[in-house]
Structure 1
Amino acid sequence: MQTIYAMHQHQSDNLEKEEKFLFASIESMQDLYLLMLSALIEIQSKEEEYLDLVSKKHLATKEEKNPSSKFTQNKFLQLLKNSESLLDKIDARKINNWKQNDDIILFLIDAVKESQLYIDYMSKSKSTFDEDKFFIADLFTQIIAPNEKLYEYLEEYKLTWLDDVPLVNTMILKQIKQVKETQEEFKVTKLYKDEDDKDYAKALFRKTVLNEVELSKQYIDKTPNWDTERIAEIDTIILKMAICEFLKFPSIPVKVTINEYLEIAKEYSTPKSSIFINGILDNLVKDLKTEDKLVKTGRGLL
């Protein structure tokens, strides 16, 4: 949707160029995923360095000489830190942002240590793997992910990440909660579920762009109370993509298509857009069924 919108704004008809932009944007989402995970690793590493330095101070207090290492030895953080597959992926994608911007990490450490979550966690001498895991999950959700300084950095570094942050953070949180103590490594989530997943993205983009005129004819007559020139451009793109799925993707259920695009409309368009789009798609589905143009394979897809 965003790539098609960008094409319209730039009045571009270079399909191959825009397709490259689409897949580059998708790949950059995995970089954000790796960057957020690497922040957890870097927080642990920086705090470990700090505790080591403090313990070696010339006039160190008794507490400073024997600081609590409960946080740095957190079992989940240790799993993350020692996960070769994760570290290899971070290295392969050249995710070294925090080495160059350690002020962000130091700021996050301060925020963590000032939190009641951290104070409560450190007050207990021991904890189980699950307690360690859920502590990091809460810390990520309540302190790290919503941190304004981190958010400002992400926005400044790559503008396209702003739309990806909620999805990436949700994915990471889900993974943290699912990790088992018996796991030897933290498994990096694949960018695509399988090759069909990637082919779908390419096919939806191409089929929508190459058939825009044909697709727009499907909804123009369904908007008698709306001036088509005044319909928000994002709404027209959403409609075209949804109609494209109706007509050219027989394996995708109608209800799935409608629900997905209504969610997109709520997220990216005007407050009334989802109601407007839902009305048009509902009427269109009825007409397509009547005209026997809605061909779906498999049971229950209509």
Structure 2
Amino acid sequence: MMLNRRHIRVKVMQTMYAFKGSESDDFSKDQKFLLFSIDNMYNLYLLLLSLLIEVQKRAESDLQKKQKKHLATKEDKDPNRKFVNNQLLKFLKDNDQLKGKLEAHNITNWDLDSEYVDIIFKNIIASDLYKNYMNTRVSDFKEDKDFIVDVFKEIIAPNDKLYDYMEDKNLTWLDDLPTVNTTILKLLRKVKENASEGYFSPKLYKDIDDKQFAIDLFRKTLLNQTAIKTEITQKTKNWDSERIAKVDYVLLQMAICELSNFPSIPVKVTINEYLEISKEYSTPKSSIFINGILDKLVKEYEASGELNKVGRGLM
């Protein structure tokens, strides 16, 4: 699976951040957007995997063109086919389950935007990675796999033009890119020669509970906005509310909602998750601010018996 609970919290945060209404409004549109932006992550995953397949096809047609040249050299007539025959690329290209997913999600970008396939192909060909790989004519699965892992990590993932392309195509993709790149790298590193057809078609959510968690966290935070805001105001009397970063405010709302409405999630887990997200998405001092407020709240809840956590070891 691709998504963990932290990614889900980040997605809810982004949707909450963009939400303009109040708790009495109909927010089914926003909930749809939340689920759509999570689903859209899978399209980005498929898009990047299909780029590897297109690069292999591009290499193949390149060789064919050279062989047909009027003045073909010896190297043109008998080229080193190591890259074109890369076993991992062939596994991706011939994988029917992956083909089915690409069709179902309508991933045809590279047909129209083939210049990006060219850019990546040329970058690969010009790299030392490629020169070293092509020093010999034969390879085993491990060498083929290691080469593709390096190509993805050093050439595809950091490519600026590709990054701009993603940004143009879909704004939420930029936030998804680190997660998707990590998922692809993990799969490429761990793939075995006898991998199943479904290996490169992981599930987006671990289980149905995770999808429900996304919906519940979003809805419950919005539905309890007034009460949660009162809690925050009481705990931030010395703070000018205008000065509290909007991201911090959203994260606090979600954390308080989670502490109060999700009995099976341990307090420690909730607090750690929101501190980590604030370190990544907000100001350097945010995590200290958020930690201070949540700490005070938890002590109060404990004292008044309001922390209804179930199961053992949930503090």
Q: In which range does the TM-score fall when normalised by the shorter chain? A: over 0.9
Matches within 5 A, 1:39-58: 39-58=51-70
Distance in 2 separating the partners of 1:93 and 1:240: 34
Task: Tell me, yes or no, if the aligned pair for 1:219 and 1:284 is still in contact at 8 Å.
Answer: no
Which 5+ residue runs of structure 2 have no aligned equivalent? 1-12
Task: Tell me, yes or no, if the aligned pair for 1:79 and 1:184 is still in contact at 8 Å.
Answer: no
1:242 has 2:255 as partner: yes
Q: Match of 1:199?
A: 212
Q: Choose the corresponding residue for 1:68, options 80, 95, 100.
A: 80
Greater CA deviation, 50-59 or 205-214?
50-59
Larger RCO: 1 or 2 (CA < 8 Å, sep 6+): 2
1:122 has 2:126 as partner: no
What one-letter code is carried by the residue in structure 2 that aligns with 1:45?
K
Q: Match of 1:256?
A: 269
1:74-97 deviation per Cα after TM superposition (whole angstroms, max 9, x unaligned)? 111111111111110011111000
1:151 has 2:176 as partner: no
Normalised to the residue count of structure 2, the TM-score between the two structures is 0.92
Distance in 1 separating the partners of 2:59 and 2:192: 25
Q: CA deviation at 1:60?
A: 0.6
Matches within 5 A, 1:32-181: 32-181=44-193
Distance in 2 separating the partners of 1:43 and 1:187: 17
Count matched residues: 302
Normalised to the residue count of structure 1, the TM-score between the two structures is 0.96
Task: Tell me, yes or no, if the aligned pair for 2:41 and 2:176 is still in contact at 8 Å.
Answer: yes
Distance in 2 separating the partners of 1:263 and 1:130: 36
Report SS of the residue matched to 2:229.
helix
Distance in 2 separating the partners of 1:171 and 1:17: 29
- Change over 3 Å in CA distance of 1:11–1:121 after alignment to 2: farther
What one-letter code is carried by the residue in structure 2 that aligns with 1:124?
T
What one-letter code is carried by the residue in structure 2 that aligns with 1:91?
E
Report SS of the residue matched to 1:8.
coil
1:211 has 2:221 as partner: no
Q: Choose the corresponding residue for 1:30, options 26, 34, 42.
A: 42
Which 5+ residue runs of structure 1 have no aligned equivalent? none
Task: Tell me, yes or no, if the aligned pair for 1:76 and 1:132 is still in contact at 8 Å.
Answer: yes
Q: Choose the corresponding residue for 2:30, options 8, 11, 18.
A: 18
What one-letter code is carried by the residue in structure 2 that aligns with 1:252?
I
Distance in 2 separating the partners of 1:9 and 1:166: 30
Q: CA deviation at 1:124?
A: 2.8
Q: Match of 1:287?
A: 300
Q: Match of 2:238?
A: 225
Matches within 5 A, 1:268-287: 268-287=281-300
1:4-59 deviation per Cα after TM superposition (whole angstroms, max 9, x unaligned)? 11113899933111111111111111100100000011001111111111112121
What one-letter code is carried by the residue in structure 1 that aligns with 2:162?
L
Q: CA deviation at 1:217?
A: 2.2
Task: Tell me, yes or no, if the aligned pair for 1:7 and 1:13 is still in contact at 8 Å.
Answer: no
Report SS of the residue matched to 2:33.
helix
Task: Tell me, yes or no, if the aligned pair for 2:23 and 2:225 is still in contact at 8 Å.
Answer: no
Task: Tell me, yes or no, if the aligned pair for 1:76 and 1:129 is still in contact at 8 Å.
Answer: yes
1:76-130 deviation per Cα after TM superposition (whole angstroms, max 9, x unaligned)? 1111111111110011111000011111100100111111111111113332212
- Change over 3 Å in CA distance of 1:279–1:182 after alignment to 2: same
Identity between Structure 1 and Structure 2 (%): 54
